Amino acid sequence: MCTQDAYTLLSVYTQERNGRPIHPLRQRGTTLVEILVAMLLSLIVSVSAVLALSSSLGLNHGAMQYTLLSNELRKSVQLMSRDVRRAGYTAGAQWCLANILCQPGTTIALPEALNILDPLPLIESIELPDGLSLSNSGDCFTFELDRDQDATIGDGDYGGYRHTTVDGVGVLMTWMGPDAPNCAADSEFWVPVTNASVININNFTVDDSASFDEVVSTDILGNSTSQRVRRILIRVSGELVSDSEVNETIETTIDVRNDILI
């Protein structure tokens, strides 16, 4: 009886499941093939995540580099645009309204009757600035303006911008000297505007071909008075020193506010 029961119990324990005998005290483990497949899937997921993160970081770095270059170029153009608009300014400009004798680089004597208006300061004459001058090469311009508003042109009333090369890197420079600048001469008063360790300015041009003449008045005899409207195009191209593929060109057109009667 005991032998029969033991045989029956053993038969139950060794019953076949899906064609394979299963022992109740021994669980079926993971096969080597399953482990390899799981490792392969994990590797694929990890590599995909790393590639996606790397691509995202690369795009973000490229955007930051481009923004750095764009900001530097735009700040330089804005600085030049401000000075171009003010070129030729003088505190005595109100005495030159409709006065065709007021020409750049000339000195106009004022009638004594104009100097009795207290509390205006005594002004016997007006020294008119030369205004804006472009170099023949088109990569430099100079200007004069009455910064201290004394109706004369003296120390500190000069300015200019030029493109030059420093140790093989293109640089924009501005004039900070007391006298009239020389575009071609080296001087301590030519101060860098752009950082040569970061940006290479590979092109800078200034063009006034869009300037034009317009009639502002005509007298009863048919004699007309015209003025020269100065329209200046500034174009700046630059690239990062560390990556020449990051590059940009900025153009802007500025009207000089102090037009010249001709």
Tokens linked to 165? 């090369």
The yes-or-no verdict on residue 121 having pLDDT over 60 is no
Scanning the chain, the segments in alpha helix (DSSP H) are 2-13, 32-86
Q: What is the CA radius of gyration of the chain?
A: 40
Least confident residue range of 84-98, 107-121, 186-200 = 107-121
- Residues 64 and 62: their CA atoms lie apart, in Å, by 5
- pLDDT given at position 68: 82
pLDDT, mean over the chain: 77
Q: Let me know: does 240 contact 219? Beta carbons within 8 Å.
A: no
**CA nearest to 151, candidates 184, 196, 116, 106:** 106
**Does the CA dihedral 94-97-99-104 come out positive or negative?**
positive
Q: Let me know: does 77 contact 234? Beta carbons within 8 Å.
A: yes
* φ, ψ (nearest 5 deg) of residue 11: -65, -40
SS3 127: strand
**Tens digit of each residue's pLDDT (9 = 90 or more) over 193-228:** 998 888 999 999 999 888 888 877 777 887 877 777
Q: Greatest CA separation found in the chain?
A: 147
Residue type, 253: T
Least confident residue range of 25-34, 61-70, 82-91, 252-261 = 25-34
Give Cα 79 to chain centroid, integer Å: 10
Element (H, E) at 174: strand 169-175
Tokens 């020409």 found at: 103
